[in-house]
Amino acid sequence: MGNFMNISKKIDESKLTIAENIIIIREKHQQVAEIMKEENIECWMIVVRETASNPDPIQNLVISGELVWISAFIFSNKDNKFRKTAIVGNFDVPAQQRKGIWDEVIGYKKGISAILQPFLNQLNPKSIALNYSETDVVADGLSHGLFEVLKKMLPEFVDRFQSAEKIIQKLRGRKTSNEIAFINEACQITDKINHSISSQISIGMTETEIYDLFQQEMQKYGVSHAWLAEHCPMVDAGPDKVVGHTGPLSTQITKLHNTLHNDFGVKYHGYCSDIQRMWFFGTKDEIPEELIHAFETVKTAIKKASEFIHPGVRGFEVDEIARKYVTSQGYEEFGHALGHQVGTAAHDGGILLGPLWERYGEAPKGIIEIDNVFTLELEVKTAHYGIVSLEEMIQITQNGCKFFLTPQQEWWCITKNKG
Amino acid sequence: MGNFMNISKKIDESKLTIAENIIIIREKHQQVAEIMKEENIECWMIVVRETASNPDPIQNLVISGELVWISAFIFSNKDNKFRKTAIVGNFDVPAQQRKGIWDEVIGYKKGISAILQPFLNQLNPKSIALNYSETDVVADGLSHGLFEVLKKMLPEFVDRFQSAEKIIQKLRGRKTSNEIAFINEACQITDKINHSISSQISIGMTETEIYDLFQQEMQKYGVSHAWLAEHCPMVDAGPDKVVGHTGPLSTQITKLHNTLHNDFGVKYHGYCSDIQRMWFFGTKDEIPEELIHAFETVKTAIKKASEFIHPGVRGFEVDEIARKYVTSQGYEEFGHALGHQVGTAAHDGGILLGPLWERYGEAPKGIIEIDNVFTLELEVKTAHYGIVSLEEMIQITQNGCKFFLTPQQEWWCITKNKG
């Protein structure tokens, strides 16, 4: 099968293999035990059904594979004993057993309630954490209909239901060494592609043409899009592109003495990158003062935030550092959060490096932990050249943070004309 | 970009293109208008957020693309006026407008409630259908946390909330001509691959080796797996494979005078196939009577069900035809439903051709409609050779049904030995 493996390798490096997934799940299960102790939660129950159509965002980190009938995965922590139980339809039993990640796999034939009710009666937990959250979308995997099913199935436990958002936020946020390795590789590939594109861009190309170059490069590396393909990467030829979640336009043409911006991320073995870079069309000497000042401001704001951030501070405190610096330099403040977490999703949920705006709810109040992975990103508006925007990615370390890539230090210049 | 398009075509025929998606959405929006009239529902509201992490199973059929902030898509039908409104975060406005599928796209900056509340006040619908369902997973896309957000945001409308399951069941079930075309192509490719594999299999290969051949063929056609790759196809070398949702085993070896079974589906432009086929290792003359009888029974049960089914009958009535025939032939009845719908998911939800067992809830009571797509599948257990199982796919027509592929008529024989 050597030949097949080669084809497979070239074509798809975007997905985690089953073996890799099991390794990460084992690391995550250890974290679940620690977090449940920290949060004093006796029972976390993940309930899913037909996950091929309606998955829970957390399942790839703690379950793996697909489930057909209604299934309950119960992490319990009572009398200092951590136990992991899978209760699944009988057809799903062999697959779950073979993973070797559960202390027990219990199958049922007719209905799950005949197993689940006595199981919970015996466990008798103070509370049962379920995957619903008003504020954190990645902790909100339990559908409303299924919640109603649980209410009817477990009437005596309804008043013990609570949100599992604290478990999920910490669990997604604390990247394991394998998760960091995949995120790092996604960043390195993103950087290689950006550099390769630099040598292929010419003045006069349309946004769509540049977008297509990125697609070719992604295919070479066998990676997929970190977000919707339609606008990954976003390609924005200055100065007059409408800002927003829009794709590249075939009508938007790059011009001499203008800028090019992209927001680009790849998915490598299931993990994402999310990086913004900027180019100037012309020589270094031709860069106008306005663009130099804007670039320095964005770069310095990111640097200041990175020098400040460390475990124990809250998200909004980091955002404030960059936000204040930008306004001190005479720019309008940016209309979004300074940074979000990155993991299996480009927007990985949980704690946000954002301002205390109503829109962001509780997310900016969370406390930053070691091995969280964040973006640091912001834009400033210039009077004549549109926006200047950069985005870097950092890993939180014991005393601060480190960048996955060297931050962009200066404008990348393109002088080649479209031939 | 000619060269790039070639690469792209070979590599990925599995996904619907954006243009194709828009065409299907237009067809589906017309169906929404019809169904809301039939069901006398004045307002259907789909509410989503960060769909890249937490999608609604119905969104690809009626929205397309990804949404970041909380978004509401409202289909209203009042005073005989059908209207389609998208209320989305301001960054998502340009992308939604460019699709040209909404009568109006309204953006918001700070929070959706300032737009949504007055909109619903003005519409003043008798009821608001939301995507939650206790029984139908594909109609259960609204997460519980988001439901709680809606309750708080729209207190005066809470008593008008109702399940949208009737809309979604009909909408997913009534395949449009373009949907049928993609499903048909998925079936044709599945058949071509099964035939190609027939010429490559030899006696003595392991299940894993045969599974790998399928992966190679899928890459040639650029299609992806209709369900979890791990067990797509399921490859079962008789007679002693444990039945269930398990993948192929490298320890399970095909043997002379035994059987091989597969359950295989591909995804082509977002639409699935789901087909089971069986092989016998040996010559036609060597097939034992026991296997001939079992095969004829399964084939005839499928034929009888296909001759009976037509618009207006209920799912369980069709199941009964096949189930009674199988037991009349001296076999134990099969432990699953006779058929499920197929569409963007291999298990597409909605009405089921199933028995009235508790496990299947209301799904078998639904009324079959024209242009529904179902599987007809069943297995019988033989005393010495394991299971004999076939699965075909049909489209419901005005007076009956038609098969996408010619049903398997006899055992496919393999006589080649592993060299």
DSSP of A53-113: TS--TTHHHHT-S---S-EEEEEEEETTEEEEEEEEEGGGHHHHHHHT--SEEEEESS-TH
Q: Which residue of A has its CA nearest to B345?
A: A53
The separation between CA A384 and the C-alpha centre of its own chain, rounded to angstroms, equals: 33
Q: Which residue of B has its CA nearest to A215?
A: B4
Determine, yes or no, domain membership for A217. Answer: yes
In chain A, how many domains are there?
2
Q: Which domain holds residue B78?
A: 2-172
Amino acid (1-letter code) at residue B138: V
Residue B1 has pLDDT above 50, yes or no: no
Determine, yes or no, domain membership for A224. Answer: yes
| Same-domain check for residues A158 and A49 | yes
- Is B54 in Cβ contact with A137 (below 8 Å)? yes
CB B203 within 8 A of CB B417: yes
Question: Residue B243: its chain A contacts at CB < 8 A?
Answer: 91
- Is A212 in Cβ contact with B1 (below 8 Å)? yes
Exposure string for B209-226, b = 16+ CB within 10 A, e = fewer:
bbbbbbbbbbbebbbbbb
Please report where in the chains the tokens 């096949």 appear, as a residue: B322
ipTM: 0.88
Say which CATH number the domain at B12 has. Answer: 3.40.350.10
As a whole number of angstroms, the distance between CA A30 and CA A179 comes to 14
| Same-domain check for residues A45 and A153 | yes
- Looking at residue A242, its pLDDT comes to 62
Q: How far is B270 from chain A (nearest CA, A)?
A: 13
Q: How far is B376 from chain A (nearest CA, A)?
A: 18
- Looking at residue B244, its pLDDT comes to 59
Residue of A53, A96, A162 to mutate when probing chain B, most B C-beta within 10 A: A53
Question: Residue B246: its chain A contacts at CB < 8 A?
Answer: 94-95, 98
DSSP of A212-243: HHHHHHHHHHT-EESS-GGGSSEEEESSSPPP
Average pLDDT over residues B177-197: 97
Residue of B46, B49, B53 to mutate when probing chain A, most A C-beta within 10 A: B53
What's the pLDDT band for B11 if we cut at 50, 70, 90?
low
- Is A11 in Cβ contact with B11 (below 8 Å)? yes
Output the furthest CA–CA distance in chain A (Å, rounded): 76
Q: Which residue of B has its CA nearest to A343?
A: B53
Instruction: Dump pLDDT digits (tens) for B245-274.
Output: 567 888 889 999 999 999 999 999 999 999
CB B302 within 8 A of CB B291: no
Average pLDDT over residues B3-31: 75
| Same-domain check for residues B252 and B388 | yes
Average pLDDT over residues B72-86: 95
| Same-domain check for residues B139 and B212 | no
| Same-domain check for residues B137 and B56 | yes
Instruction: Name the percent of chain B lying above pLDDT 70.
Output: 96
Q: How far is B91 from chain A (nearest CA, A)?
A: 4
Average pLDDT over residues B40-62: 94
Question: Residue B140: its chain A contacts at CB < 8 A?
Answer: 54, 143-146
Question: Residue B91: its chain A contacts at CB < 8 A?
Answer: 243-245
Determine, yes or no, domain membership for B236. Answer: yes
CB A193 within 8 A of CB A266: yes
As a whole number of angstroms, the distance between CA B38 and CA B369 comes to 14
Q: What is the dihedral of CA A350, A353, A355, A356, to 10 degrees?
A: 40
Residue of A143, A212, A224, A347 to mutate when probing chain B, most B C-beta within 10 A: A143
Average pLDDT over chain B, rounded to an integer: 93
The separation between CA A295 and the C-alpha centre of its own chain, rounded to angstroms, equals: 26
Q: Which residue of A has its CA nearest to B246?
A: A95
Residue B8 has pLDDT above 50, yes or no: no
- Is A142 in Cβ contact with B144 (below 8 Å)? yes
Residues, chain B, total?
419
Question: Residue B350: its chain A contacts at CB < 8 A?
Answer: none
As a whole number of angstroms, the distance between CA B282 and CA B288 comes to 10
Q: How far is CA B20 from CA A122, B59, B61, B221, in A?
A: 53, 15, 11, 19
Instruction: Name the percent of chain A lying above pLDDT 90.
Output: 81
Phi and psi for A195 in degrees, rounded to 5? -70, -40
Instruction: Dump pLDDT digits (tens) for B89-142.
Output: 988 898 899 889 999 999 998 789 999 999 999 999 999 999 999 989 999 999
Q: How far is A150 from chain B (nearest CA, A)?
A: 10
Q: How far is B406 from chain A (nearest CA, A)?
A: 28
Question: Residue A150: its chain B contacts at CB < 8 A?
Answer: none
Determine, yes or no, domain membership for A303. Answer: yes
As a whole number of angstroms, the distance between CA B356 and CA B315 comes to 9
Lowest mean pLDDT segment, chosen from B11-15, B195-199, B378-382: B11-15
- Asked which of B129, B145, B172 is the last residue of a domain, the reply is B172
Determine, yes or no, domain membership for B240. Answer: yes
As a whole number of angstroms, the distance between CA A116 and CA A149 comes to 13
Average pLDDT over chain A, rounded to an integer: 93
| Same-domain check for residues A273 and A399 | yes
Q: Which residue of B has its CA nearest to A217?
A: B4
Determine, yes or no, domain membership for A419. Answer: no
Question: Residue A219: its chain B contacts at CB < 8 A?
Answer: 7-8, 11
* Beta-strand pair B104-108/B81-89: parallel
| Same-domain check for residues B303 and B292 | yes
Instruction: Dump pLDDT digits (tens) for A325-373.
Output: 999 999 999 989 999 999 999 999 889 999 998 778 889 999 999 999 9
3-state secondary structure of A373: strand
Lowest mean pLDDT segment, chosen from A26-35, A154-163, A236-245, B406-415: A236-245
- Is A137 in Cβ contact with B7 (below 8 Å)? no
Instruction: Dump pLDDT digits (tens) for A141-153.
Output: 999 999 999 999 9
Residue in B18, B92, B140 closest to A146 by CB: B140
Instruction: Dump pLDDT digits (tens) for A209-228.
Output: 999 999 999 999 999 999 88
- Looking at residue A246, its pLDDT comes to 67
- Asked which of B172, B188, B212 is the last residue of a domain, the reply is B172
Say which CATH number the domain at A247 has. Answer: 3.90.230.10
- Looking at residue B418, its pLDDT comes to 85
Residue in B98, B140, B145 closest to A133 by CB: B145
Q: How far is B46 from chain A (nearest CA, A)?
A: 13
Phi and psi for A265 in degrees, rounded to 5? -150, 150
Determine, yes or no, domain membership for B419. Answer: no
Residue A7 has pLDDT above 50, yes or no: no
- Asked which of B129, B157, B172 is the last residue of a domain, the reply is B172
How many helices and strands (H and E) does chain A possess? 11, 16
Instruction: Dump pLDDT digits (tens) for B163-181.
Output: 999 999 999 999 999 999 9
| Same-domain check for residues A159 and A180 | no
Residue B3 has pLDDT above 60, yes or no: no
- Looking at residue A409, its pLDDT comes to 97
What's the pLDDT band for A41 if we cut at 50, 70, 90?
very high
Q: Which residue of A has its CA nearest to B49?
A: A137
- Looking at residue A240, its pLDDT comes to 76
Question: Residue B230: its chain A contacts at CB < 8 A?
Answer: 18, 65, 95
Determine, yes or no, domain membership for B211. Answer: yes
Q: How far is B151 from chain A (nearest CA, A)?
A: 11
Question: Residue A49: its chain B contacts at CB < 8 A?
Answer: 137
Q: Which residue of B has its CA nearest to A98?
A: B246
Question: Residue A4: its chain B contacts at CB < 8 A?
Answer: 212, 215-216
| Same-domain check for residues B152 and B215 | no
| Same-domain check for residues B265 and B224 | yes
| Same-domain check for residues A219 and A96 | no
What's the pLDDT band for A8 if we cut at 50, 70, 90?
very low
| Same-domain check for residues A151 and A217 | no
Question: Residue B214: its chain A contacts at CB < 8 A?
Answer: none
